[in-house]
Amino acid sequence: MSQARLDIERMLQRIRKHRDFPAFSSHVREIVRISSRKQSSANDLAAVILKDQALTQKILQVANSAHFGQFAGQIHTISRAVVILGFEQVRSVALGLMLFEHFRKQGNATPLLETMLTSIFSGLLARNVATGEDRERVEEIFICAMLHDLGRMAMAFYAPEHYAAVETAMKAHGGDFESTVRHELGFSPRELGRAIAREWGFPALVIHSLQQLPPSRRKNPATLEDRMRGYSQFANALAQRVAADPQSAEAAIAELLDDYGAIVRVEADDLRERMAETRDDFSHYLEALPEARRNQGVLEKLMQAPEEETEAEATPAPPSEHDTDHSKLMDGIADISETLLEPFDLNTLLVAILETLYSALPAERVLLFIVDRENAVLRPRFGFATNLDNLRRNLAIPTGGADNPFTEALTGHREFWVADAAHDLSTTNLPEPMQRWLPAAAFGIFPLVVNDRAIGAIYVDTARPGSLDATSRRGIRTLVKQAVTAIRTNR
């Protein structure tokens, strides 16, 4: 065994002896185990979370404000939170709040508090940046980014004198935290973070994401693991730059998009919008973390919009009769969530989900496609459209051969969204059945992934480009999650 491995083992032995570590680790392992079981239900996750009443109340605080303000005050149980926000998102919220509550017990530890807050912000940013690219893995991406500095947080909490010695050495000799820890203690904080994540039972993909991604792989990511590590590094680098100086954000955006552009495939303007969404998401977390207010310095920096973004804000356009009816969309989500908590007929519930989308959105067609594996095609099973009978009799979209938006969504387990079909290059090779039967100005394809297998997709299209705003798309994703929950429950 190498000296570095021995040094990590000694540090782990010290951590395991800490009075809070065994109980905390047991709770984390239980949540990770429930999450990794394909047959786990909303009740299974709720039963684990309910063992900690303080955690339960904090999760409900976040759930009542996160993403859908119309649900404020209406989510009274963890089971309903799972139904509305999704199994994976409630797990992510639970783990984030648990880590914060655990590490904040270190008295008078401003650097640790700053690192924790920046880590949560990084996780939210990584999740928002990944939206639309690796849609089905956004909660894993959140966890990877949030745990990016786990080794550093663990040192500050469990071995504060070693952490202080490293900071002293950095001030005296320069250098970054990673190289100074290796020089002073004989191991890397990233190695320590991976060892703790392994101890807590996180899957290999999360553990490997705590390693640095070499520059060559940022430009040419070869695997899912590369992308997960890239999202994590990108989000943490940008969050840390903003936490140090909010007005450096513009330079950081240009520099980091150039470095990670093969992974984070968004334009600078789109990234600014996603950073604004992240600040909004972060504010919801802070409602459940009043202790975080003790560190106004880093909070103010993370929540501060760059001057250019602030000046560019425009007066919102008045609502149009062709816009989404957000109230109807939220009421529909609430009705579906209530139904999911009781015995239900699957087909009836799926039709109710499609009806909610069709009645609330400015949609031309809302269809639920099911994979016909024998004939390698997708066929519409249920839906709403003026020519629905013709679509059900005649429409069959191939799932093999050349790539098309449906195959990309299903094979990649990710949302495929086209805001303006007339000007989007991805629409140049649409399959003939789609061109003939589904002419649209804008469309979205949302795969139904159950137990890591795409069994179908929900398709939504509109007659106007750009007619679905970010809140509408979040509503669609929530209803898709509810469809997956229904299918998973009935299997």
Q: What is the pTM of this model?
A: 0.74
Answer yes or no: is 120 within a domain.
yes
* 243-254: average pLDDT: 89
So what's the pLDDT on residue 61? 85
Q: What pLDDT, on a 0 to 100 scale, did the predictor assign at position 312?
A: 43
pLDDT digits (tens, 9 = 90+) for 374-402: 889 999 999 999 889 999 999 999 987 66
Give yes or no: residues 222 and 336 share one domain: no
pLDDT at 154: 92
The arithmetic mean of pLDDT across residues 129-156, rounded, is: 85
Tokens of 258: 């150039």
Q: Among 414, 101, 125, 412, which Cα is nearest to 243's?
A: 125
Of 120-124, 152-156, 182-186, least confident by mean pLDDT is 182-186
Rounded Cα distance, 209 and 338, in Å: 37
Three-state DSSP class for 73?
A: coil
Percent of the chain with pLDDT over 70: 89
Are both 284 and 336 inside the same structural domain?
Answer: no
Kindly indicate the confidence band of residue 199, based on its pLDDT and cuts at 50, 70 and 90.
very high
In a domain? residue 51: no
Q: Are residues 377 and 303 in the same domain?
A: no
Question: Are both 255 and 124 inside the same structural domain?
Answer: yes
| Pairwise CA distance, residues 306 & 240, whole Å | 15
Shared-domain flag, residues 296 and 371: no
Kindly state the average pLDDT of the residues 457-473: 89
Say yes or no to pLDDT of 307 above 70.
Answer: no
Question: pLDDT band at residue 111, thresholds of 50, 70 and 90?
Answer: confident
Percentage helix, strand, coil for the chain under 3-state DSSP, each rounded to 5: 65, 10, 25
Q: What is the mean pLDDT of residues 316-336?
A: 73
56-77 pLDDT, tens per residue?
A: 988 888 887 755 455 556 777 8
Kindly state whether residues 453 and 387 are assigned to the same domain.
yes
Q: Does the pLDDT at position 313 exceed 60?
A: no
Distance CA 213, CA 262 (A): 13
In a domain, 301, yes or no: yes
> How far apart (Å, rounded) are the C-alpha atoms in residues 110 and 460?
48
The CATH number linked to 251 is 1.10.3210
Quick one: 217 and 254 in the same domain? yes
Other beta carbons within 10 Å of 409: 23
- Cβ-based neighbours of 129, under 8 Å, separated by 6 or more: 231, 234, 235, 264, 266, 271, 274
The DSSP-derived string for 333-402 is HHHHHHHHTS---HHHHHHHHHHHHHHHS-EEEEEEEEEETTTTEEEEEEEE-TTHHHHHHH--EE-SSS
Q: Which amino acid appears at position 424 of this protein? A: D
Q: Is there a single domain that holds both residue 281 and residue 375?
A: no
> 340 and 303 in one domain?
no
Q: Give me the DSSP letters along 198-241.
A: HHTT--HHHHHHTSPPPHHHHHS--SHHHHHHHHHHHHHHHHHH
Looking only at the bridges linking them, the beta strands covering 416-418 and 397-398 are unpaired
* Residues 357, 232: Cα–Cα separation, whole Å: 33
Model confidence at 233: pLDDT above 50:
yes
Per-residue pLDDT for 220 more than 70? yes
Look at residues 312, 339, 354 and tell me which one is the last residue of a structural domain: 312
Would you place residue 83 in the very low, low, confident or very high pLDDT band (cuts 50, 70, 90)? confident
Which domain, by its residues, includes 284? 3-20+105-312
How buried is residue 348: exposed, middle or buried, by Cβ count under 10 Å (0-12/13-18/19+)?
A: exposed
Contact 457, 409 (CB under 8 A): yes
What is the C-alpha separation between 25 and 23, in angstroms, rounded?
5
The one-letter code for the residue type at 462 is T
Q: Which residues pair with 363 in a beta bridge?
A: 462
User: Is 276 found in the same domain as 342?
Assistant: no
Q: Are 182 and 280 part of one and the same domain?
A: yes
User: Is residue 262 in some structural domain?
Assistant: yes
Identify the CATH number of the domain in which residue 449 sits.
3.30.450.40
pLDDT above 90 covers a percentage of the chain that reads: 37
Mean pLDDT of all residues in 144-152: 94
Report the pLDDT averaged over residues 156-167.
Answer: 89
190 and 339 fall within a common domain: no
Residue 314 one-letter amino acid: A
Domain total of the chain: 2
Query: What's the rounded mean pLDDT across residues 234-254?
Result: 91
